[in-house]
Structure 1
Amino acid sequence: MSSKQDGAQGRQQRVRTVKEALRDLNIQLSLLNRQFGAHVDLKDADWNCLDLINRHGPLSPTALARKAGLHPATMTGVLDRLQRGGWITRERVPEATDRRAVTVRALRERTPELFRLFAGMNAEMDTLCQDYSDDELDLIATFLQRTTAAGGIATDQLASD
């Protein structure tokens, strides 16, 4: 076999290894989120929406449904559960012509509870990141951001089929 073929096969194996590692990461993060949800009585979709609200909110229910990839009727149930659990509040939009218009805002007084639950993972990540140089961390961050964008494209393609 030529060195060119060896190089191509080596690259294919590296790409396969990266893809497998991402699948393993997806599974592990799902397990972590499930454990987290069990501690605070949140379903997976509830936690995803709460995280989106915390990171991008306040949001309208429609905007949140779009970001979460959920049907508006499903979003109503998610928001009802989050509000009952004391995680969010729905606030009327005073300047809206439609009296039903609301925005959803996370209740910040619950944030310390979230930080406490994720403290173990955050500590593990801090320890892990100590092993990498600033340039390597920049490369990893860029790879993860590009992977997220690729996932968004694939999600949009599947949604339009």
Structure 2
Amino acid sequence: MEPREPNDLRQRRRAGTAIKAALRDLRVELALLNHQIGGKLALKDIDLDCLDVLAQNGPLTPSALARQVGLHPATLTGILDRLERGGWVARDRHSADRRSVSIRVLPDRNREVYRLYSGMNSAMDEVCAGYTAAELELITGFLQRSADAGRSSVGKLGQDS
């Protein structure tokens, strides 16, 4: 492999810096959107995170959900109590072992969440329409690898505690 030209290295560094800045901007905008939607639904940001993880991954045990959202199980218990009281989730006890519980989202209430995100989803459809299928695959791969990098960083920080 040939050494890169100094100009190429500078351009790559600038592009990498611009990508990180754009990701930070996106994180802030998504946090603001989530906070506004949470306010309309009387949900905290962490409540929305829990609902999103459950919606994406199907029913989970409380300990599995706690791991995925990065909370201590005792903290999650209070959140689940609040979500259950609000009609957002149900706790299902398994007939074979009544101590074993799964948490699932209740579809009627979660339609409210999807309705509030419809503007963002439509805007993202428009953004994606400007790219070819191959470009979208490249972007998807980049975002997935970025999410993996975030998970790895969270894991490393957790080990340092």
Q: TM-score, normalised by structure 2?
A: 0.94
**Counterpart for residue 76 of structure 1:** 77
Amino acid across the alignment from 1:5:
P
After the TM superposition, which residues 24-103 of structure 1 pair with which residues of structure 2 at under 5 Å, given as runs? 24-96=25-97, 99-103=98-102
* Offset, 1:136: 0.6
SS in structure 2 of the partner of residue 118 of structure 1: helix
SS in structure 2 of the partner of residue 91 of structure 1: strand
Once residues 75 and 46 of structure 2 are traced to their aligned partners in structure 1, the CA distance between those partners, rounded to angstroms, is 9
* Offset, 1:63: 0.6
**Counterpart for residue 6 of structure 1:** 7
SS in structure 2 of the partner of residue 103 of structure 1: strand
* Offset, 1:111: 2.7
**Counterpart for residue 133 of structure 1:** 132
Amino acid across the alignment from 1:89:
A
Amino acid across the alignment from 1:140:
I
**Counterpart for residue 155 of structure 1:** 154
Q: Structure 2 unaligned runs (5+)?
A: none
SS in structure 1 of the partner of residue 5 of structure 2: helix
> 111-120 or 40-49, which moves further after superposition?
111-120
**Counterpart for residue 106 of structure 2:** 107
* Offset, 1:84: 1.1
CA deviation digits over 1:38-67, x for unaligned, max 9? 011111111100111111121110110011
Amino acid across the alignment from 2:12:
R
Once residues 157 and 21 of structure 1 are traced to their aligned partners in structure 2, the CA distance between those partners, rounded to angstroms, is 24
* Offset, 1:94: 1.3
> 120-129 or 100-109, which moves further after superposition?
100-109
Once residues 139 and 90 of structure 1 are traced to their aligned partners in structure 2, the CA distance between those partners, rounded to angstroms, is 39
Once residues 69 and 110 of structure 2 are traced to their aligned partners in structure 1, the CA distance between those partners, rounded to angstroms, is 20
Q: TM-score, normalised by structure 1?
A: 0.94
Once residues 111 and 34 of structure 2 are traced to their aligned partners in structure 1, the CA distance between those partners, rounded to angstroms, is 17
Q: Structure 1 unaligned runs (5+)?
A: none
SS in structure 1 of the partner of residue 95 of structure 2: coil
CA deviation digits over 1:78-124, x for unaligned, max 9? 1011111110011111112xx33211111012232122101100110
Aligned residue pairs: how many? 157
CA RMSD of aligned residues (A): 1.1
**Counterpart for residue 119 of structure 2:** 120
Once residues 45 and 75 of structure 2 are traced to their aligned partners in structure 1, the CA distance between those partners, rounded to angstroms, is 13
Once residues 41 and 160 of structure 1 are traced to their aligned partners in structure 2, the CA distance between those partners, rounded to angstroms, is 34
